[in-house]
Amino acid sequence: MSGEETFRSAAATSEAAPSITGGRELTGFHQVLGYRQVSWAEEQAVIELALEPRHLNLAGVVHGGVLTSLLDIVLAEAGCYCPYPGRVRRAVTLTLTTTFTGQCSGGVIRATGTRRAGGSRIFNSTGEIRDQHGNLLALGEGTFRLRTGSEHPQGVPSGTLGQNNKKEASDV
């Protein structure tokens, strides 16, 4: 199956799926990007972004920072799935490598991340971004550390964003 056929097949199966936000709207930088969560399961996440002029660089193609941000999000999500309603798992990025392989000026782009390996707190993920024709735009690889409380599948209550930052700084 070609890249474009894979993208179309996945798009067809996800068109009926509602946007997944963990029961809450996107906030902060996630809202600025404006992506849509297509799917999220144990060890894999998929997000899409409908490109707008604000996502393009001065040359009129998707900005590398947008691609890198999408990879950072989807790679971290691949290791942070939490099946418990009202709870989340969080991670911080330790390393992130992005390889740009193509350009795109419009349409919908899809980022896919897969958890590849890891222990109780540190994990590695790989992923890619393709345009709506299946053309590869970027590859990514990252290493992430689960934040305190996120080592367990039940995670932490979703309303605790930023409440354990002092503890986090000390347990690096």
Q: Quick: pLDDT tens for 116-141.
A: 999 989 999 999 999 999 999 999 99
State the CB neighbour count (10 A cutoff) for residue 47: 25
Break the chain into its structural domains and give their ranges.
3-170
pTM here is 0.81
Q: Quick: pLDDT tens for 21-41.
A: 443 466 788 888 999 999 999
Strand blocks (E) in the chain:
36-41, 44-50, 87-88, 91-100, 108-118, 122-130, 136-146, 156-157
Which CATH superfamily groups domain 3-170?
Hotdog Thioesterase (3.10.129.10)
Nearest Cα neighbor of 61 from 8, 109, 29, 9 is 109
Average pLDDT of the residues in 88-115: 97
Q: Quick: pLDDT tens for 58-86.
A: 999 999 999 999 999 999 999 999 999 99
